Structure 1
């Protein structure tokens, strides 16, 4: 099946091209900048074309992933040229406008599904991600698309464009507006956020990270989200009114009114206990990993880069507020703490098996007949740097004293020192190495 992504050289379009290529679709991306297009094409191993019309005519599915301000014009231009029986999808975060344009310009023998993937270009897995579908009509493509998304364990929301935009006015417009306003206020106060790190609480830390995530997005995109959602002006004005009202209450020292506002806000937040539980998990997760790093200074540790997937294994030499230093034997690496996750001991072993040479040795040991070979095997398996243990022989022949038996273990390990540790364990069980 051929999928054409109009605007697939950057942002979400590029991410979608990567996902569909992994699913073995025949993917073609388009973009105005031919140099960027060819680089992206090579990087993702997909096709690139600078001719939107040709891609539209030769594709089974067309996904429009251009800036919100350009989406309507692109639909007007390309929808009438689509092949009968094909499918048109747009992935903008505003649905009412594009839906009306699709309804007007898409031919009757072409199906269209206005869609909003509620995730960004940094997403690396569809599992658990939310996607909103706002179909005007459900044709032959719709159940196939829905089944595909469900199979990827995505949370599929079905609604109408007007309801989608109303909800996104809160989820996106209000959130972006309030976060950017907060960041702008900090800037206007001439305060460097780094200077607040010595005083920050876990809640403040989480808030700053979330704000930074929003303000670091493409400002043209966030502006379009504000501008194109018809509910935006009401939401922004209501927010501004609420801020001014709260400010006036504090300025006039009206404690009762402040408490009333706080209680109204609290009651409207829904399931507070669940919110506290989720935020506790986030805080505990941050603290847990921070404590692991502090306790690992001078020790071997495995760190996986959360975006590239590259794993770094070495001795943790130094730990600062933002960066850490890792000695990987070959050279020293400086890594940003926020960009890596600590591998568990089991994960570290698995990566070592992939990255390092694996040694193998068979060890035979004589034990009393009452010895349990499986207990001994499990104990060996827990020795540091042992990667696999098999019992390959149990022998009670002429060479073995009566009342005794010989167990032979085939052991795989990351280094020879692990074999010596194994022999010491076997001797500790009362065994005699053959």
Structure 2
């Protein structure tokens, strides 16, 4: 299947190109900057074109992933070039205007599904992500493409939400417009106060640090995109004005030292929120995960540990030498590495084993050991598995009772697949610990 992504050289479009090309689709991205387009296409191993109409005319699925302010012009540009029987998706953060325009301009033999992936360009896979589909009528759901899109998203364990374009934009006015506006306002206020954020973290609770991390995530996004989200949502001005009114109201209550009204506002606001206990539970998990990671790192000092960079996915394996609030120091054997804690995750045993299977050469060893005749090979193997790391596979290759073995004994030969010789030596030590005699 050929998928054309208009605007696939940057941002969400690039993310979708990465994900879809890994799924085996024939992906072509477009972008005005030819040098950058060729660079990205080589990086992602996809096709590149700077001709939107040509890509639209040859693709089975066309995904429009350009800034909100440009979306209308792109729809107008490609509308009559899209081939018969194909599908058009736009992935902008507002849905009413693009939906109406696609309905008006696209040929009747072309299906379209206004779509909003509610995740950012840092996303690496679709599992657990939210995608909103906003068909403008039930007729759209009866087309050829809608069931296919649903199946693909369900197979990828995506959380699918179906809504009208109007309902979507109403919800996004709070989820995006209000959130971005209030977070950027808070970040701006901190700047005007002349406060060093790094210094505040020394005095802060985990909740404050989590809040600053979330604010940082929002304000670090493309400001042109954030501006478009604010401007293009039809409910944006109403939401911003309501927020400003609420801030001024609360400020005036405190200026007047009006405790009664302050308490009243706080209680009414709390009552309006979703299940508070569930919210507390989710935030507790977020806080605990931060503390747990630091605890695991501190307990691993002097031991081998595997750490994966959450963006490049590069894995670093070595002896953990030092942990401080921001960085860890890792001795990889070749050199000392300093890694930022915020950018790494600790690989558990299964993840590390999978990584080693893909990236390291395995070694096969055999060892024969004499045991009393009533010894149970299954118990020996289970004990070795529990006691020795880095064993990929271990099995009984042979049980021998010939003339070379004294009466009342058996020789058990084990075949072991490992990553290094030291693991094999550990197995031999366990066999001898059982009272076995290595042959």
Q: What TM-score, normalized by structure 2, do the two folds share?
A: 0.95
Kept in 1: contact 2:54–2:81 (CA 8 A): no
State how far apart, in whole Å, the 1-side matches of 2:410 and 2:39 are.
65
Q: Does 1:403 align with 2:408?
A: yes
Aligned counterpart, 1:276: 280
**Deviation sequence 1:95-149 (CA, Å, 0-9, x none):** 0111111121112221111111111111111111111111124122211122211
Whether the aligned pair in 2 keeps the contact of 1:301 and 1:348 (CA below 8 Å) is no
1:287 to 284, 291, 294: 291
- Structure 1 position 354, deviation (Å): 4.4
1:190 match: secondary structure:
coil
Q: How big is the shift at 1:430? A: 2.2
Structure 1 residue 432, shift from structure 2 partner: 2.2
- Distance in 2 (CA, whole Å) between partners of 1:61 and 1:163 is 25
Alpha-carbon distance in structure 1 between the residues aligned to 2:168 and 2:389: 54
Alignment correspondent of 1:267 = 271
1:249 aligned residue? 253
Q: 1:101 to 1:350 in 2, by over 3 A?
A: closer
Bigger mean CA offset, 4-13 vs 140-149: 140-149
Residue equivalent to 2:430: 425
Q: Does 1:62 align with 2:25?
A: no
After superposition, the C-alpha distances for 1:264-311 in whole angstroms (9 at most, x for unaligned) are: 122111211111111111111111111111122232211111111110
2:395 corresponds to 1:390: yes
Mean Cα deviation higher: 109-118 or 316-325 = 316-325
Structure 1 residues not aligned, in runs of 5+: none
Q: Which runs of 5+ in 2 are unaligned?
A: none
Does the 8 A contact of 1:62 with 1:87 survive in 2?
yes
Measured at CA, do residues 83 and 354 of structure 1 come closer, stay the same or move farther in structure 2, by a change above 3 Å?
closer
Tell me the distance in 2 between the aligned counterparts of 1:55 and 1:355: 37
CA distance in 1, matches of 2:81, 2:354: 52
Provide, for residues 375-424 of structure 1, a one-character-per-residue CA deviation record: whole Å limited to 9, x for no partner: 11111122244443211112223333333222111123333333333222
Q: Does 1:147 align with 2:151?
A: yes
Give the corresponding residue for 1:191.
Answer: 195
Aligned in 2, Cα 1:353/1:158: closer, same or farther, shift over 3 Å? closer
Q: Are residue 166 (structure 1) and residue 173 (structure 2) matched? A: no
Contact 2:3 2:26 in 1 (8 A): yes
Residues 5 and 351 of structure 1, relative CA distance in 2, 3 Å threshold: closer
Q: CA deviation at 1:9?
A: 0.8
CA contact (8 A) 1:358 1:415 kept: yes
Instruction: Count the aligned residue pairs.
Output: 434
Residue 417 of structure 2 aligns with which residue?
412
Alignment deviations for residues 77-101 of structure 1 (CA, whole Å, 9 cap, x no partner): 2112222222211100000111111
The 2-side partners of 1:413 and 1:51 are apart by 52
Q: Higher mean Cα deviation, 323-332 or 191-200?
A: 323-332
Which residue of the partner structure matches residue 42 of structure 1?
42
In 2, Cα distance between the equivalents of 1:163 and 1:239? Answer: 20
Alignment of 1:327-366 (within 5 A): 327-366=331-370
Structure 2 SS opposite 1:167: helix
- Could you tell me which residue of structure 2 aligns to residue 111 of structure 1? 111
SS in 2 for 1:406: strand
The worse-fitting range, judged by mean Cα deviation, of 131-140 and 94-103 is: 131-140
Distance 1:108 1:350 in 2: 49
Residue 80 of structure 2 aligns to a residue whose secondary structure is helix
| Structure-1-length-normalised TM-score | 0.96
Q: CA deviation at 1:357?
A: 4.4
207-216 vs 137-146, greater mean Cα deviation: 137-146
- Secondary structure of the 1:81 match is coil
TM-superposed CA distance for 1:191, in Å, is 0.7
Call closer, same or farther: CA 1:350–1:144 in 2, change over 3 Å: closer
Instruction: State how far apart, in whole Å, the 2-side matches of 1:355 and 1:317 are.
Output: 24
